[in-house]
Structure 1
Amino acid sequence: MGSTLCQILRVHQRHVKSLAQSLSRLAVEKSKGIDILILENVVDPRKEPYQLVAAPALQSLEEYKGKVVSLIEEYFAAGDVASMATDLSNLESPNYHHHFVKKLISMAMDHHDKEKEMASVLLSALYADVLKPEQLAKGFTNLLESVEDLVLDIPEAVDILAIFLARAVVDDILPPAFLSKTRKLLVDGSQGLVVVQKAEKSYLSAPHHAEIIERKWGGSTHTTVAEVQAKIVTLLKEYVESGDKAEACRCIRELNVPFFHHEVVKKALVLAMEEPAAEGKLWSLLIETAEEGLITSSQMSKGFTRISDSIHDLALDIPQAKDKLESFTSKAVEEGWVSAPFSRAVVSELGAGTVGIQEARAFKANATNIIQEYFLSSDISEVITSLEDLAAPDYHAAFVKRLILLALDRKNREKEMASVLVSELYAEVISIASIARAYTLLLQSAEDTSLDIPDAANQLSLFLARAVVDDILAPLHLDEISEQLVEGSLGREIVRMAQSMLSARHAGERILRC
């Protein structure tokens, strides 16, 4: 399956070469690091027209590393987060950003507490908008794999890196599950494993650990994430009392954390859930910040995504939280902050959540047994009978998700069996809505999946393309699924990869042979 992309690229390369031979003039001009192909006078009208293309010249990893060292040194001197975000984005090498994460932390480890705090603040500020979650996780993984080298130059590297790791969890830029997953990847007895254990036992398990970790590098002159969160809550509560939107917007602007405005959205929605009388004022404030461009659409969408991800925990403290979120997302669709598919996904998730955690766990265990038995027997009729006996159509999306996840970590035989099973279950047993929901859930958690299965992105794109070829999903479904994913996420990139495969010549035959 993994060779499909290379095959498609070779086909396109041959097509481009053939086309180039029919041109009467080809000029190549290089200017400011950009290769520009000027193609004129195409003499064969039967061939697909090619337009002027401008693409950045490929930047080597060594060039990238040299540039980020200079950027980091400049950041430590000036402390300008906004400039750093712009400069890093301008490098146009997002796939190398894990090297930036590793270099930033390793350089900070050899500096004072001020620079260590600055590094943590920068990672939180760049998270999601500039640094994709999978790149951040990969950067930390690379650091953990190289601790033995770090301690040669920095004797206290184990303790410092443990603090950085715990801080990333406290700042919500690494999920707690990252620690358990990474622990399985590290060699027994390695220094990296010691770092993970120290982060868990010495820092994250301690009473009031968040406050302790946030203050660990007390020499910092920068505002911590916890302090920004506290300021956001304060300004929102003051606004509820005064109703002064201009003052509230001024306070948001003075925070000078545009990459963290999603927290303003999340805190405002939580406060509206806690204090129903304040809902009207808080919603009016969000509208004002959106209309004047203070909070961007991506930050607004991210705020709704974050509260949706934590809604089941919120419901434990706020009984009406789920009903409120459903109402908020419906209004957010009207304002254009989130898409209609996102709203439907939230409603579906809330409905599934009311059935009960124990029931969901029981279904997941049964589904795993059914799938494992199917991989051994290839008996599709037995799977159909078992699903009908469970009589739980609300969990069919979870079944399809589990099927594909288990297949991802197996050989091509099981991957093919999974695709065939989904095709057989389609319509008669499992609805199209459940299948589309399953792929959405898979892509939303693609970053976590790729930590355990390095080739997950490529494999998921093939499963997605195969679903279209098998007439289970329509091409339009891919667009709807993409709209439910965070902009710039790995999930959206997987959808794009699938669409690219499907647009190639003889795509159906090639994908079916994977």
Structure 2
Amino acid sequence: MVREYFEHGDTEEVIALLKELNLGKQSSGVPRVAVSLALEGKASHRELTSRLLSDLVGKVLSEEHIAEAFDRMLSELPDLILDTPEAPQMLGQFIARAVADHALPLNFLDRYKGRVDCDHARAAVDRAAVLLRIKREIIRLDNVWGVGGGQRPVKHLIKEMNLLLQEFLISGQVCEAERCLRELEVPHFHHELVYEAVVLVLEGSAEGHVLMAVKLLKALWESGLITLDQMNRGFQRVYNELPDLSLDVPLAQSVMEKLVDLCYKEGVITQHLRDQCPGRGRKRFVSEGDGGLIKE
């Protein structure tokens, strides 16, 4: 049923089917299955799942049914990360969106304050808390999965993002960069900003540019403007092109490794994405303390 919903996107059809099933005590299993499948799927599947959770509440499910499902999934994170390494961050985004959409009780996160022993669950709860703390002009976290429209030509958008980056390197004003990115209204294309920012650093190779790029990416990640999927896609694009970039920029590989390590330390990227960086096979790193790194 959930997989079919990912194809047709009709929440009313799902609601009608669930009413016929009369799930009773098994009701929390529906959001749990939907979110589990979405974690393994595409960003569009996660967006559809968030919409489904919102539409189901008050019709066939209650907020507590959704809460029960997320409680279960938080406890299952050690198993979920085996197939989906970024599950904690994604689950945190699901929770934040569900709270904003009134699919979860407003006090859902309060239940976990000081009571989370699992590091993965803590990462998920912290991610949700950060997104919900952000004061935005919009009430709903509609762009949390980075999918949407955008009618302007790609070349125009790339030019605008490059101008945004150049201005940021001069001014250092994160708020202005965030404002410009919001005004573009292309959350599905934010991976291009990540890509352009990283390439700009590699081509410049300046120490200051590396630190500025990390500062900007961290701010955009923490504000929720750049989602996990978009951040990953931007870095993966650079990873794929690094051999060609290194032909023109001999220091590109070493600068990339430094940038990736700094981004990981600042919580901008996951360990899984950091470890995928080309060339890391020549170095091995282990975590220490609060996320710092030491060379083995």
Structure of higher CA gyration radius: 1
Using the size of structure 1 for normalisation, the TM-score is 0.31
Using the size of structure 2 for normalisation, the TM-score is 0.45
Higher relative contact order (CA 8 A, sep 6+): 2
